[in-house]
Amino acid sequence: MNYKNSFAKLLENNLDGALSLDEVLPLIEKPRYQQQGDYAFPCFILAKKFKKSPQVIASEIAENLTHPLFEQIVSDGPYINCFLNKSTFSIETLNLILTQKANYGDSSLGNDENIVIDFSSPNIAKPFSMGHLRSTVIGYALANIATKCGFNTIRINHLGDWGTQFGKLIVAYKQWGDENVVKQNPIQELLKLYVKFHDVALLQPELDDEARLWFKKLEDGDQEAASLWTWFKNESLKEFAKIYKLLGISFDSYHGEAFYNDKIKDTVQLIKEKNLLSTSDGAEVVDLSDHDLPPCLIRKSDGATLYATRDISAALYRQENYQFQKALYVVGQEQSLHFKQLFLVLKKMGYTWADDMNHIPFGFILKDGKKMSTRKGKVVLLEDVIREAIELAAKNIHEKNPTLNNQEEIAKLVGVGSLIFHDLKNERMSNIEFSIEDMLKFEGTTGPYVQYTHARACSILRKGRAYSTALNDGLDDPQSWAVIKRLSEFPEVIESSFYSYEPSVIAKYVLDLAQEFNSYYGTVKILADTKERPARLALVQSVAIVLGEGLRLLGLGAPKEM
Ligand code: ARG
C-alpha cells in the first residue's frame, strides 16, 4: 500500500486541477515531529493560483479531506498535515514483514544488471593496513546492499601484486634477507626488509637504480625474480586469507595488478591508436590538461608500466567480461586524482560506460588523533586487532551470561561485529578514532548493542511463541507507533544508502530501531495476556527480522542469544 500516493491523490482531487499528481507527490514532506503528522503538504505554491494566503488555503482544503487510511487530516498554518490510521498501518506493515521475512526491503532497482565493486585490494608483501580494513568493510557492505537492491554483484579484490616496490623488495631480500626468518613471519619480515631498503637507499641512491633493474627483470619474465615474487605473493595471500576468514568476507575475483601483465601491451596500443599518447621526458603519457589535470603516466622511459596503466587494462577487461552497468572503486581519498585520471582517459578513449564508474573514497583511521600509518614499520597488525576484539568480547559475554552455549562462536560474531560497526556507523568520509574498548560496549552506538537488542527480541519470541502470522488487530498506542513507523522505513533506507554509497545510513537506522525497541520493551508488557498480545509479538518478530537483516547487510552476524 502506498500511503503517500493515496494522500497525494486525495489532494489532487481537491485542488480544482491546480496541480497534477506528479506535481503534488514531490511536494509532500515528512514532518520532523510526530505531532505534525506523518505527511505534510505545504500550500505556498497554491497562493498565486487561488489568490488567498497559504494559511487560508490549507484550512479550507483540509476541512474536506477524509480517507479510511488516514486518522486525521488537519491544517497547521500553511501546511496540511496528514496522520496515518495507526491500526491499519500497523497491521499492514507487520503482515508485510512477517510474510517477506529477510526479503523485506528487497528492491528491483538494479534490474539484475551487473555491478563490479573493487574493494579491499591490499598490497602483497605488506601488512594489511587499517586503510585496507576500511575499504574491506565499506566495500563488502556496499556489495550486500547492491545485491539487496537487485544488482548482480561482482566482488573484486584488485591485489597490489605488481609495481616497482617488488624490485626494491627483491634487492633488499637478496642483500639482507634470510629465507628461514622470512618463512617464520613473512609479512613482518618482508616489511622490515622494505623499510630497511628505504632507510639505506637514502644514503645509497644507487640501490634505487638496482631496484628498478630488478623490477624490469620481473616484468621481462626473469626466472629468479619471478620465483621470489611468487613466494612473496603466496605468503601474503595466506595471511590475507586468515583475515577474510575472520571477517567472514569473500570475493568473486582475486585478479590483481599482475593479472593484466599480458594484456597491457594491447591496452597501450589501443591508447596509441586513438591518438591519445604523447611523450613527455621520454615517458608516454595521456595529456589531460584540457581538464586541468596532470598527465596520466602510461609507460616510463624504461618501458615499465604503471598502476594507472594496469587500472585502464582492468577496466577494459571488466567491461568486456562483466558488461557492468556500474563500477565502484572503494579506495582511500588519497587516490582521488588517480581515479579522476583513470575515468577521464577511458572517456577520451570513447567509452561512455566510464560515466558509470565511481570512486568511493573514505577518511582515515586515527589513533589518539593521529593518522595510523604503515610507514616506518610502526604498524598495528590487523589480525592481532581482530583477535583482541574477539577475546574482549568473549570476556564481556562470559561476565554477562556465564551459562550461554556456544560462547566462542558468539564472541567471534560480536568481536568482529564491533570492529565493523565501529567503522560503518560513521559517514565514510569522516575520520575514525580507533578504540577497542569503545567499540565493544554493550550500550551506546555499538555493534554489540544492536546485536544484543536483536538477541533480546529473539528471547522474547522464545518465551511468547503463540502469535498469528496474519494479524487482524493492529496497534495504535504511541509506544508501538515509533517502532512501527521505523520498521516501515527500512526499504527506503536501503535505497537511500545505496544511492549515496553510505552504509552508515543503515547503521544509523538499526541504532534508532534498537533504541526505540528497547524503550518499547521497557514500557510495554509484551507477554501479558491481552488482546494486543499477537500484534505485540508480531512487532517483536518484525524487529528481529529487520535488525537481523540490517546487520547482515553491514556484514555483521546476529546471534539469537548473547
Ligand atoms: N592496492 C591499492 C592500494 O593499496 C589499492 C587498489 C585499488 N583498486 C584499484 N583498482 N586501483 O593502494
User: Is the pLDDT at 456 greater than 60, yes or no?
Assistant: yes
From residue 479, alpha-carbon distances to 33, 245, 476, 512 in Å are 15, 41, 8, 14
Ligand 1 center–CA 146 separation, angstroms: 21
**Residues 202, 67 within the same domain:** no
**Residues 143, 23 within the same domain:** no
Nearest CA to ligand 1 atom 11: 311
**Residues 550, 506 within the same domain:** yes
CB 276 within 8 A of CB 345: yes
pLDDT tens track for 367-415: 877 776 555 545 667 888 899 999 999 999 999 999 999 999 999 999 9
pLDDT tens track for 36-81: 999 999 999 999 999 999 999 999 999 989 999 999 999 999 999 9
User: Is residue 90 included in any domain, yes or no?
Assistant: no
d(CA 122, CA 256): 10
Ligand 1 center–CA 256 separation, angstroms: 9
d(CA 513, CA 518): 8
**Residues 20, 136 within the same domain:** no
pLDDT at residue 383, rounded to an integer: 86
User: Is residue 271 included in any domain, yes or no?
Assistant: no
State the sign of the Cα–Cα–Cα–Cα dihedral 460, 148, 425, 559: positive
Mean pLDDT of the chain: 93
480's grid cell? 508501538
pLDDT at residue 163, rounded to an integer: 85
- Ligand 1 pocket check for 158: Cβ under 6 Å: yes
**Residues 242, 336 within the same domain:** yes
**Residues 459, 412 within the same domain:** yes
pLDDT tens track for 435-450: 888 888 888 899 999 9
- Ligand 1 pocket check for 549: Cβ under 6 Å: no
d(CA 96, CA 80): 28
> If pLDDT is split at 50, 70 and 90, which confidence band does 15 have?
very high
- Ligand 1 pocket check for 163: Cβ under 6 Å: no
Nearest CA to ligand 1 atom 5: 121
- Residue of 136 and 464 predicted with greater confidence: 136
User: Is the pLDDT at 467 greater than 80, yes or no?
Assistant: no
d(CA 122, CA 131): 9
Strands (E), 34-95: 39-42, 70-76, 79-84
**Residues 353, 409 within the same domain:** no
Q: Rg of the chain's alpha carbons, rounded to an integer?
A: 29
- Ligand 1 pocket check for 160: Cβ under 6 Å: yes
Tally of CB atoms within 10 A around 434:
20
Residue 342 CA: nearest ligand 1 atom is 11
**Residues 172, 241 within the same domain:** yes
Ligand 1 center–CA 215 separation, angstroms: 19
pLDDT at residue 311, rounded to an integer: 98
Mean pLDDT on 91-117:
96
Q: What CATH number is given to the structural domain containing 16? A: 3.30.1360.70
Last residue of a domain, one of 371, 390, 408: 371
148's grid cell? 539487496
pTM of the full predicted structure? 0.94
Q: Tell me the percentage of the chain whose pLDDT exceeds 90.
A: 85
Q: What CATH number is given to the structural domain containing 166? A: 3.40.50.620
CB 236 within 8 A of CB 124: yes
User: Is residue 57 included in any domain, yes or no?
Assistant: yes
User: Is residue 154 included in any domain, yes or no?
Assistant: yes
Ligand 1 center–CA 174 separation, angstroms: 27
pLDDT at residue 1, rounded to an integer: 60
pLDDT at residue 412, rounded to an integer: 96
Domain count, the chain: 3
CB 33 within 8 A of CB 83: no
Nearest CA to ligand 1 atom 4: 122
User: Is residue 298 included in any domain, yes or no?
Assistant: no
- Ligand 1 pocket check for 161: Cβ under 6 Å: no
d(CA 551, CA 531): 32
Ligand 1 center–CA 122 separation, angstroms: 7
pLDDT at residue 469, rounded to an integer: 62
**Residues 347, 412 within the same domain:** no
Mean pLDDT on 240-268:
95
Strands 114-118, 152-156: pairing is: parallel
- Cβ-proximal residues to 249 (8 Å cutoff; 6+ apart), any chain: 120, 136, 140, 555
- Cβ-proximal residues to 385 (8 Å cutoff; 6+ apart), any chain: 419, 436
d(CA 61, CA 106): 37
d(CA 234, CA 200): 27
412 alpha-carbon distance from chain centroid: 21
- Ligand 1 pocket check for 419: Cβ under 6 Å: no
**Residues 502, 362 within the same domain:** no
**Residues 229, 365 within the same domain:** yes
Nearest CA to ligand 1 atom 9: 158
Ligand 1 center–CA 331 separation, angstroms: 6
pLDDT at residue 303, rounded to an integer: 83
- Ligand 1 pocket check for 121: Cβ under 6 Å: yes
- Residue of 82 and 127 predicted with greater confidence: 82
CB 324 within 8 A of CB 295: no
Residue 339 CA: nearest ligand 1 atom is 11
331, 334, 337, 339: residue to mutate for ligand 1 pocket, most atoms within 8 A of CB:
331
**Residues 130, 74 within the same domain:** no
121, 318, 338, 358: residue to mutate for ligand 1 pocket, most atoms within 8 A of CB:
121
From residue 287, alpha-carbon distances to 290, 359, 478 in Å are 8, 21, 63
User: Is residue 203 included in any domain, yes or no?
Assistant: yes
Q: Which candidate, 434, 458, 448, 447, places its Cα nearest to that of 521? A: 458
- Ligand 1 pocket check for 425: Cβ under 6 Å: no
pLDDT at residue 43, rounded to an integer: 96
Ligand 1 center–CA 307 separation, angstroms: 8
- Ligand 1 pocket check for 341: Cβ under 6 Å: no
Tally of CB atoms within 10 A around 280:
11
Ligand 1 center–CA 121 separation, angstroms: 5
pLDDT tens track for 288-303: 999 999 999 999 888 8
Last residue of a domain, one of 34, 65, 84: 84
- Ligand 1 pocket check for 421: Cβ under 6 Å: no
Instruction: Please list, residue by residue across 103-137, b when 16 or more beta carbons sit within 10 angstroms of its beta carbon and e when fewer do.
Output: ebbeeeebeeebbbbbbbbbbbbbbbbbbbbbbbb
246 alpha-carbon distance from chain centroid: 18
Ligand 1 center–CA 190 separation, angstroms: 20
User: Is residue 431 included in any domain, yes or no?
Assistant: yes
Last residue of a domain, one of 314, 343, 371: 371
- State the amino acid at position 352 in one-letter form: T
Nearest CA to ligand 1 atom 1: 160
pLDDT at residue 377, rounded to an integer: 47
Mean pLDDT on 169-190:
92
- Ligand 1 pocket check for 311: Cβ under 6 Å: yes
Q: What CATH number is given to the structural domain containing 530? A: 1.10.730.10
User: Is residue 162 included in any domain, yes or no?
Assistant: yes
Domain that holds residue 208: 114-261+323-371
pLDDT tens track for 303-338: 888 999 999 999 999 999 999 999 999 999 999 999
State the sign of the Cα–Cα–Cα–Cα dihedral 275, 280, 282, 284: negative
Residue 314 CA: nearest ligand 1 atom is 10
Residue 335 CA: nearest ligand 1 atom is 12
332's grid cell? 582511500
